[in-house]
Structure 1
Amino acid sequence: MRVDLNADLGESFGRYRLGLDEEVMNYITSANVAAGWHAGDPLVMRRTVRLAKEKGVAVGVHPGYPDLMGFGRRYMRLTPEEARNYILYQVGALYAFVRAEGLELQHVKPHGALYNALVREEELARAVIEGIADFDRKLIFVTLANSPPAELAEEMGVRVAHEAFADRAYNPDGTLVPRGKPGAVIEDPTEVVQRAVSMVKDGGVRAINGEWIDLRVDTICLHGDNPHAVEIARAVRRALEEEGVRVVPMGEFL
């Protein structure tokens, strides 16, 4: 049994620091690095890629809407042409630093509002997947487990990582509870660890109303901006390994 642990990193910008990248990087196997549109800048991007190289962590791109002010969490209506080229632009930007550090790019995971919009809008999802394929069809597309974008990418011949969130509450339909609602973000480390283990071992999770949801889980996201991020990342990895789960980069088994 294998699973990848990923985190959204490189989200500092200029003088502003966000997240606990160096500490969290010790426990994950894949890093989603911001490409400068919702967060990050050239210095942060290179520093984060270099840190991943030092820690032996696989690198992926974390592209979002062009929305620094809103941290990419505000919905934007895009044409398919815009979406496709916005993705290609950001993948290419981070790839420059990946190439400079002698690494390979592993995956692409859309950020924030864009990530959620893909679940609802097939045309947008298709354009994003086309943008990934334009750069390299071997890249892994990371998206919400059991979601329409995952099925679409598989139909289009692009590798998919089904992603679960141990620190986020789920609706009964398998979507994430919006951050603005009570209970959407789970901060209790013990509960997060229990959910992560259940996702992998039992193949699912309890929704916010108590219903059981079956999930295919290839990778689990651990948010680096959670107040207990380091504690949670350390505990999740230890618990999974104690249960006999191999924690390895998604590229090793997808």
Structure 2
Amino acid sequence: MNLRRIDINCDLGEGIGNDEAIMPYISSANIACGGHAGNKKTVAKTIELAIRYGVKIGAHPSYPDKKNFGRVTFPISSSALAETLMEQILLTQEIAFSKGQELNHIKPHGALYHAATRNDDVASLIVELVKRNFKKSILYAPFRSKLADIAIKNKLGVKHEVFADRSYLSDLSLVSRQHAGAVLSDPDLITQHVMHMVEKGKVKTINGEEIEIFAETVCVHGDHPGAVATAAAIFKALKDKNYTIG
């Protein structure tokens, strides 16, 4: 019996135009819900696609910063951040519920995600919000991050995430997009990168170090230029090694 299972997730509903093409190769969708991209109409459309393809539905909240696609540090008070995250996640959950679906997971986006991996206050705010209001949903978070550790301490479900198309530093943070080599583009190299993390439990950093990592879900960025080809290549590689996707 095959006991090996891995989730493939993708950030969708961001207006890129490739959502349906990616759906056959993923098992979870992180749906932009108005912070960095998206609105009620796009959330509903993406959820409908997810239902059609049997893909789990997740909320992908962000700093309220469409100008910078949620990818830069955003000055905001804790109360205002909690308020916008609540609005974004509720939007996704309410539309999902209206279509008879559950909200499987929550994954912060961009700069908020990175802040939550290393900042106790941001991580604690997100965990507390989820614990109070969305306890049935799990958090997608990096291995050994503040977000994952605090969520586990609070008995929230966590799925440890790795990134298919990004390079890593030795502290398991991602190389800044402003630096050369931060974003991987070749599907073959991306697949090797993913399989090394999934099968060996190791990631080779941009400096060539081998660092322990734990992969339960693999993220493909929907706005990556080769997102569809990347997702298809990872899906095939995992299937060829007898992994169950989901």
TM-score normalized by structure 2?
Answer: 0.96
Contact 2:6/2:244 (<8 A) preserved: yes
- 1:223 is displaced (CA, Å) by 1.1
- 1:189 is displaced (CA, Å) by 0.5
Out of 25, 32, 35, the residue aligned to residue 33 of structure 2 is: 35
Contact 2:118/2:145 (<8 A) preserved: no
Out of 6, 10, 27, the residue aligned to residue 9 of structure 2 is: 6
Paired residues, number: 243
Provide runs of 4+ in structure 1 moved above 4 Å.
Answer: none
Out of 192, 195, 199, the residue aligned to residue 193 of structure 2 is: 195
CA distance in 2, matches of 1:85, 1:44: 21
- 1:96 is displaced (CA, Å) by 1.6
Contact 2:60/2:108 (<8 A) preserved: yes
- 1:77 is displaced (CA, Å) by 3.3
Contact 1:8/1:62 (<8 A) preserved: yes
Q: Give the direction of change, closer, same or farther, for the CA distance of 1:19–1:194 in structure 2 (3 Å limit).
A: farther
CA distance in 2, matches of 1:62, 1:233: 19
Tell me the residue number matched to 2:156.
158
Contact 1:88/1:134 (<8 A) preserved: no
| 1:94-142: CA deviation from partner (whole Å, max 9, x where unpaired) | 1121012111110000000000111221011100111112222121011
Q: Give the direction of change, closer, same or farther, for the CA distance of 1:82–1:218 in structure 2 (3 Å limit).
A: same
| 1:161-190: CA deviation from partner (whole Å, max 9, x where unpaired) | 110002100001110001111000000000
Tell me the residue number matched to 2:183.
185
Give the secondary structure class of the aligned counterpart of 1:69. Answer: coil
Q: Identical aligned pairs, as a percentage?
A: 39
CA distance in 1, matches of 2:75, 2:126: 13
Q: What value does the CA root-mean-square deviation take over the aligned residues?
A: 1.1
Contact 2:148/2:158 (<8 A) preserved: yes
CA distance in 1, matches of 2:139, 2:176: 22
Unpaired runs of 5+ residues, structure 1, are 13-17, 249-254
Residue 62 of structure 2 is aligned to residue 59 of structure 1:
no
- 1:198 is displaced (CA, Å) by 1.3
Contact 1:81/1:127 (<8 A) preserved: no
| 1:175-227: CA deviation from partner (whole Å, max 9, x where unpaired) | 00011110000000000111111111111210000001111111000111111
Letter in 2 for 1:49: I
Contact 1:169/1:184 (<8 A) preserved: yes
CA distance in 2, matches of 1:35, 1:74: 18
Out of 48, 66, 69, the residue aligned to residue 67 of structure 2 is: 69
Give the secondary structure class of the aligned counterpart of 1:65. Answer: coil
Letter in 2 for 1:3: I
Tell me the residue number matched to 1:173.
171
Give the secondary structure class of the aligned counterpart of 1:51. Answer: helix
Tell me the residue number matched to 2:229.
231
CA distance in 2, matches of 1:19, 1:111: 19
Contact 1:62/1:111 (<8 A) preserved: yes
Contact 2:65/2:74 (<8 A) preserved: no
CA distance in 1, matches of 2:241, 2:194: 11
- 1:19 is displaced (CA, Å) by 4.4
CA distance in 1, matches of 2:222, 2:157: 25
Give the secondary structure class of the aligned counterpart of 2:29. Answer: strand
CA distance in 1, matches of 2:123, 2:146: 9
CA distance in 2, matches of 1:131, 1:84: 7
CA distance in 2, matches of 1:149, 1:79: 19
- 1:27 is displaced (CA, Å) by 0.5
- 1:157 is displaced (CA, Å) by 1.3
- 1:84 is displaced (CA, Å) by 2.6
Tell me the residue number matched to 2:87.
89
